[in-house]
Chain A
Amino acid sequence: MFQKKANHLRRGTALILTLSLMFSLSGCGQSSSQKNTGNQVTITNVSYDPTRELYQAYNEAFTSYYKEKTGTDVEVVMSHGGSGGQARSVVEGADADVVTLALAHDITLVENAGLIESGWIDEFDKASSPYTSTIVFLVRKGNPKNIRNWDDLIKDGMDIITPDPKSSGGACWNFLAAWYYADEKFGGDEKQMKDFVAKLYDNVSVMDSGARGATTTFVENGQGDVLLAWENEALQSVKEHPDEYEIISPSISILAQPSVAIVDQNAEKDQVADVAKDYLEYLYTEDAQKIIGEYGYRPSDENILNSFSDKFDLDMKLCSIDDFGGWDKAYDTFFNDGAIFDEIYNQ
């Protein structure tokens, strides 16, 4: 009988231990309400995948700038992932103070959830886009397949790597860039444009779920002749493996404008709205714009952009999402179920 009791006790203790652990864990969440203690401020920046290195460098610069200016230590907690998914996590309750996402549309999603005040796009310069990027071709060193422009991509036997527009927002830009080129070439004849883009996607051998996966397939696994890539990612690949890859800039491409915004509701709750504003404003300073250029994004400051002219091909003709009537319209026309992408891809 004594044994029985002892066992009883042990079991009870285990249960209590478990419950108390759970509770103490929930307690950990408490610290989130202590984000501003006067001389130590923590802000969370929810960003997208390829900005890891950029913001690592930028945060260092901003931290020392802010310390000098106000004497306050800032810690910036970063979060990276696919842009759409990141916006979703903020909507679902991730505690972001600022968002720096791949496209304005993703920020609109957060705005629609009531977390960001409308009119955010005018809160910062250049439609709240402190840097831009575009789509280029990454090819193997020496350009063995002699790829110069979009026309070369539809040749027989060409092996293209690009992510799936149906799962990655970023991948839509590759499609739109090709579409815009076809539009210029065929003067708006939709049948020919569809044929052109269909041929291009016929040559895609691996369609990864996201831009990073596609880069891995091309660079690490050695698949394909050409990768349709973000300019900043292509520049990074070339920097890492200068003897293996080179960048080809097509005559026409698309201008991507990653946008930034303060998540007003969270920033006010955490009492970090001022720091958040400074954080995003600092992106436009000369120092920050130089960092931006170094990490392969195109600075929004014209003068600084021109000083990087050896890095970026400034002669490319760039269309923008407005040429497609905005993101929502583009999504409906091209990528929704049964829209143009499905139509040409499943032919």
Chain B
Amino acid sequence: MQTPDPLREFDLNVTRRQLFGRSALGLGTAAMAQLFNDQSFGLDKTSPTSHGGLHHAPKAKRVIYLFMSGGPSHHDLWDYKPKMQEMFGQDLPDHIRDGQRVTGMTAGQKTHPVCPTKYKFTKHENNDEGLWVSELLPHTATVAKDLCVVHSTYTEAINHDPAITYIQTGSQIPGRPSLGSWLSYGLGTMNENLPGYVVMHAKTRFAEQSLFGRLWGSGFMPSEHQGTLMRSQGDPVLFLSNPKGVSSKDRRAQLDALALLNQEQYSKFADPEILSRIKQHEMAYRMQSSVPELMDLSEEDDKTFDLYGEEARDPGSFASCCLNARRLAQRGVRNIQIFHRGWDAHGNLPREHESQCKDIDRGSAALIKDLKRLGMLEDTLVVWGGEFGRTAYCQGGLKRDNYGRDHHPRCFSVWMAGGGIKSGITYGKTDDYGYNIAHPDGTPMRPKPSKEKWTPGTMHIHDLNATILHLLGIDHRKLTYRYQGRDFRLTDIHGHVIKDILA
């Protein structure tokens, strides 16, 4: 904050450069900023401490984000378009495509034949007019009453790298902090023995896109806000285990000596950072028991495995990641992401999506049911979705039972459940081709993200992120981080909280 007032300048620098750096376990950042009356966070001055340092009372204490990397097909999972069946193979009408830029992969394709799904959709009772779900997601269908399925999510990016980077960092170009690190920055952590922001990579048979460190990286924020990978191979947390031949008792003795050496350095230099480092060594020691305890499923009852399936015993499976997510949530970890790759079905969509859905269906549903039975769903936000949808037209050869679909940014389906979200509803509508977001009467519309105006019935990815932050008690316009002279936000200058879907 460049003000000529040294008091403020100093406060802010203390706030940013030191306190954040020195308080990995401290209050949430917003709370600290509040302490220093930092306007860049736009704090609610009328009620200084009523929301635990957040901008407003949170509806959710934590978020579990199930990210389907590659772009799941809304046509084959969520967005029921019976009229497309009659249009099989016909060219997509021009007024529907309406100048949409397409990727280099289908730009040269002479025709764009309508490609109806081969899967059967069934209507499931929810708290509204019912939810159509494809037969690929039988388990998820059973929690229809808990889901809010948004059919009108949209983005501008048309390729994976920019689109994933966009939805996870708010910018298509690398360099920004990820959603998770914004949350880490805003929320702090509630558990002193586990990392505050945990990322898992679930196994897939179709690892067809890359993931990037930037998706859970901290960009220009300090690295303490980067996601901690919870791995299924080797140590669950990097370098967690003592070397062979070193017992926990040995390590205790080492750390005691280390603390004394550091104390001695402190007496020489009086840099408080040295003391803070002693604390971090102690936290590491505690993590060495809290993480194995977390990963130890022996205390879980049969009911758990009835829900998640035996697959949950297989480390790295999506089901096991979901179970871990629940266990992390129980232990106070507020910020959990599971990345599942392989949704990029340009060809052979049925074969690939069947396998993908099998990976994630039961685990996703189990997570909802499990959180519910533990009374945690009401304050846990669960989000499921990818970076874009897939085209209504076929990429490559079209058959009734085999086809492929290209990337599609104009509409895709995302669901949310739990803390603060209306349960059992659908939101937003697409046209008869699942190609454009549509007005209630079905006519296509072309919303654009705008700072001033939000188009009712739509959810741009910035809106999605604004809504996630909102539910956690954070005003996306006020959670800022100064870098390069600018107060950066996750939602850039955009984003509107979708109030229609809030409980």
User: Do these two chains really belong together in a complex?
Assistant: no
Binding site for A on B (CB under 8 A): none
Which residues of A come within 8 Å of B, CB atoms? none
